[in-house]
Amino acid sequence: MLSSGCDKAAEKTEKDASSAPEISVQVLLVQPDPSTSAEDAPGTVRPVETAILSSKISGTILDINADPGKIVKAGDLLGRIDDREIRARLENARAGLDQAQRDFVRFEKLHKDRVITTQEFEVAQTRLRTALAAEEEAKTLLAYCNIVAPFDGVVTQRMVQRGDLAVPGKALVEIENPGSLRLEAQVPESLVASLQIGAPIPVTVNAANSSTEGKIAEIAPASDPASRTTTVKIDLPPTKGLRSGQFGRARIPTSSAPVLRVPASAVFSKGQLDFVFVIDQGKAIQRIVRTGRREDGKIEILSGLDTGDAVVTSPNPALFDGAKAKAAQP
C-alpha cells in the first residue's frame, strides 16, 4: 500500500510539472575562476611604534600629564618625579668637582717644579676624573626625573596617578604611533613557506569597514608549537577608522588552481544545506552544493557543480525541482 501511494504521488508530481508553464530564468555557465584561492589568517592590528615608559629612579610622582587619548610630540613632558634628593647630590658633586679642579691645577704646577712625585700627580688626576664622573652621573639622574615622549604619538594608557611612588622598572605611561599600523596575523605553518618579505597581502578589518592591501614586513623565524601557527607582521597603509586592537583577517594564498564561483544570489539554503538550481534538458534540477569563501558578491563552490553547468543566478519563487525552465534571452 505504501509503495502504491508513493508511486501515485510521484506520478502526480510529474504530471503537475509537465502541465506547469515553462519558467524563464537567468542562467550563468559556470567557468573556473582564475583568482588565486586563499585562506583567512586571523590577527590583531597593532602599532609599528609603541613604548611603555617606566621610571629609572625612585621618587614621588609630582605631576602626570598623560591622559589616554592625549596627542603628544617627541620630547613633550608627560610627568615629573620629585628631584630634590638628586639635586642635592648634583650640588655635592659639583662642589667636589670644583675642589678637584683646584687641586689638579696646584698639583700640576708642583709636578712641573718637581716638588711632588709623579704618583702624587696621578692621584690628583684620578680625583678629577672621579669628580667629573660623579657630576655627570648626578645630571643623568636628574634628567630621569622628567618623563618625556620618545616619539610623536598618542597616549593609550596611564598606569599611575599624582602622588604615587615611582620605582625603577615600574610602568608609568604607554604611547603608540597611530599613523603606522600593522596586522600581526597567525598563519598556519603549512602556508608560511610560500610567503616572502615585501609580498602584497589583502587584509580585511570589519570594524573599520576596511579592505586594503598590506605588505609583509616580518615573518617570525619559529612557529608556536601549541597552535602550529607562525606570526606574520603585515604593514598597512593609512586608513580611516583603523585603530590598534581591532580584529582583522589576512588572505594567505594557498594555491593558484582555479576554483568555481557563482553569484551569491544563486545559492539558497534549506536547514543546514545549500542548494542551487541547474537547467538541464529544459528542466530545473535542484542540487546540493558545498560552499566555501564568500567575497565580492560571489560564493566559492567546493563540490556539487561542474564546469559548464547552467546555474540559475536568481531563482524564481515559482521554480521547483523538475519544473520546465529555459534561459531568458539577454
State the pLDDT at residue 34. 64
Helix axes 118-143, 84-112, angle to 10 degrees: 160
Extract long-range pairs of 95-101: CB within 8 Å, 24+ residues apart.
Answer: 96/131, 96/134, 96/135, 97/128, 97/131, 97/132, 97/134, 97/135, 99/131, 100/124, 100/127, 100/128, 100/130, 100/131, 100/132, 101/128, 101/131
Contact residues for 80 (Cβ-Cβ < 8 A; gap 6+): 61, 62, 63, 145, 146, 147
Window from 52-61, 139-148, 228-237, 317-326 with minimum mean pLDDT: 317-326
Average pLDDT over residues 164-184: 92
Secondary structure (3-state) at 254: strand
State the pLDDT at residue 90. 94
Residue 5 confidence (pLDDT) above 50: no
* Confidence band, pLDDT 50/70/90 cuts, at residue 16: low
State the pLDDT at residue 136. 95
Closest CA to 233 of 189, 198, 194, 190: 198
State the pLDDT at residue 36. 58
Q: What is the pTM of this model?
A: 0.59
* Confidence band, pLDDT 50/70/90 cuts, at residue 255: low
Structural domains of the chain in order of their starting residue, each with its CATH number: 20-35+258-327 (2.40.420.20), 39-50+179-255 (2.40.30.170), 83-144 (1.10.287.470)
| Percent of the chain with pLDDT strictly greater than 90 | 60
Cβ distance 169 to 121 under 8 Å? no
Query: pLDDT tens digit string along 113-168?
Result: 888 899 999 999 999 999 999 999 999 999 999 999 999 999 999 999 999 999 99
